[in-house]
Structure 1
């Protein structure tokens, strides 16, 4: 039986005798493995990105909203607030308003909320503090509103004026003391600016008083723990359904309810499916490239067998068995493929990192990708080299020696 070290020396000599051909053969595997590593890493990064984006919206959030006006009032607010497991609830009512500072007026997005909104949405303060239930003429500005929107920066404790236009055309104005300024939100590939950077927050009760309304646009709530968010969300849905006279059997029929409820876990599940689909698509593309590389190895190994027909005959005549010949050619194929796999994994890792930084994705590179890259390259070497190796092993030594 031929020893492994001896077989490795013979295989290395064969590879080295045709350096250019070996390099070109290896290149196909390098590209294939690099593509697999890059695409798998990008898929993991997109999944992490979606998770981070949803988590940044708030903590264990539950949202109840409706496309119908005049549906949510104080009664619905109390229903959500008194649901077991809810640790905070904030109405949110958004509308466009004119913000005036030092005789300069800009149209801005204004949101009416309460004190719980900060914790639910995980907002961080650059200056000052967020709204409380005692505030009536206080405002909190998004970072860009305070620092980029006007000719002069709006500082903490400045006075601004906000004007809303009522449905009858009447313009209502009110002065607000700037109680706080939010920290700059981290830009994402979705948008260079966070919505909250360009929003002015005021007490929802003050907003309704100014525009002469009593309803709320939506409710944002926070569950007491991530493990219970789905159950608590279902309980909120059930209580609101009873409140609006929706039969218990129709709670799961979204079209039969005047509102809709969703939670953080459901959003993460949906984005996870999108991420998995994207990962699968990218991986299929990479595997196609790897398949092409494996065909290249098989073709080259078949050419090698043909070129070395006489050598195979000599080896058999001096005592090499069929299994020895099989091992030699299979080992040569595995060595070419494994080297390509190592180089491809390194290039793929660097390429994935560079792409993730460029696309502003969280760098995610599971260490298992290194193992997978090398294991796949070995598997490709075995698969692509098996047929040529068997062809070499089955050669008749007499016919092989006569080959010219």
Structure 2
């Protein structure tokens, strides 16, 4: 009876006797496993990237945006602030205005906020301090505004002039002193315009006074935790709707409500669904390579059986059983799958690392998925070799020995 060690020796002998053919066969498994691991790893990298990027927008944030002017006022702001689960909230108004520094004028996005905004939106400062609720004509500027927007660097305690345009079309110019500079952040397609680098923040009471308005375009709130932020968002929605006199039936229709509400968990789930769908698509395509690789193994094993027919007849004539022959050919196909799996894992990890680094994504190599890919390669080798091995085992010694 043939043992495993002998089967391995025969398998390696057969593989190395036809190096080119074995290499080409193994290559199909290598590419398939590498593609699966690389795509799964990239999917995990995208998931982590989305989580990190959404986290830069704010901490457990709830974003409530008015669909039209004169929707949110101080009373609506208090409704949000007093909702259970809300730690803090800042109203927001925005306008693109002409900003002048040392006779150099540029158009910059001006954002009116309160002192809570830096905590809600995770604003970090490289210099100075953020706006306080009792501040008036002060400004906190983004990193790009300080370094690149004007011909000369705009520093802390410098003065700038902001030319506002009211809703009636009147232009009003006011002087603001720079109080702080936002630290540089990495822009992304998720955070988009919410990245503070290109913005100037001023006290919203001052901005509303200049513009002769009392409403807010957005309320940006922070929940107690990411686990409860969706529940808190729903409670805000319910309380705002009740305060505004919206019926329970109309609350179910987003098109009817005069505002739009979104929370961090919802955004994370949407981003996760997108990256998961992309990952599943890429993995499905990669599995096609594995199928092609398995067909290659089956073909090479069928050729091997044909070439070694006389040898099989001789082995069976001296006492080798059907099971012995079956084991030998199964082991040989499993060895091809294992070698392909090892090389595929190495190539897949290297490819995932290179692609993630090139796209500035976090490198994530999930060990469980890598191990699963390796096991699949062995399984593919076994399955692909089953039919040729069975064919070899069923040969009659006399017929095999007569084969030319």
Query: What interval of TM-score do these two structures reach, taking the shorter chain for normalisation?
Result: over 0.9
CA distance in 1, matches of 2:85, 2:47: 29
Q: Which moved more, 1:111-120 or 1:250-259?
A: 250-259
1:105 and 2:80 are equivalent in the alignment: no
Following superposition, the deviation at residue 370 of structure 1 comes to 2.7
CA distance in 2, matches of 1:78, 1:188: 32
CA distance in 2, matches of 1:79, 1:267: 23
What corresponds to 1:7 in structure 2?
7
What corresponds to 1:130 in structure 2?
130
What corresponds to 1:305 in structure 2?
305
1:109-159 deviation digits (Å, cap 9, x = unpaired)? 110111111000101001001000010101000000001111111111111
- Give every structure 1 segment of 4 or more consecutive aligned residues whose post-TM-superposition deviation is greater than 4 Å: 189-194
What corresponds to 1:289 in structure 2?
289
Unaligned 5+ runs, structure 2: none
Following superposition, the deviation at residue 34 of structure 1 comes to 0.6
- Go from structure 1 to structure 2 and tell me whether the alpha carbon gap of 1:187 and 1:260 turns closer, same or farther (over 3 Å shift): closer
Following superposition, the deviation at residue 256 of structure 1 comes to 2.4
Matches within 5 A, 1:158-169: 158-169=158-169
CA distance in 1, matches of 2:118, 2:204: 14
Q: Which moved more, 1:316-325 or 1:78-87?
A: 78-87
Question: Is the CA contact (8 Å cut-off) linking 2:334 and 2:385 kept in structure 1?
Answer: yes
What corresponds to 2:87 in structure 1?
87
Question: Is the CA contact (8 Å cut-off) linking 1:58 and 1:122 kept in structure 2?
Answer: yes
SS at match of 1:240: helix
Question: Is the CA contact (8 Å cut-off) linking 1:189 and 1:359 kept in structure 2?
Answer: no
What corresponds to 1:202 in structure 2?
202
What corresponds to 1:384 in structure 2?
384
State TM-score, norm by structure 2: 0.97
CA RMSD, 1 decimal: 1.4
The count of residues paired between Structure 1 and Structure 2 equals 404
What corresponds to 1:215 in structure 2?
215
CA distance in 2, matches of 1:194, 1:73: 22
SS at match of 2:167: coil
What corresponds to 2:352 in structure 1?
352
CA distance in 2, matches of 1:58, 1:369: 31
1:393 and 2:361 are equivalent in the alignment: no
CA distance in 2, matches of 1:93, 1:194: 13
1:318-351 deviation digits (Å, cap 9, x = unpaired)? 1110010000001000101110110011011011
1:216-273 deviation digits (Å, cap 9, x = unpaired)? 0010000122222122111111110011111224323212211121111111111111
CA distance in 1, matches of 2:214, 2:193: 31
State TM-score, norm by structure 1: 0.97
Question: Is the CA contact (8 Å cut-off) linking 1:342 and 1:373 kept in structure 2?
Answer: no
Question: Is the CA contact (8 Å cut-off) linking 1:131 and 1:203 kept in structure 2?
Answer: yes
Unaligned 5+ runs, structure 1: none
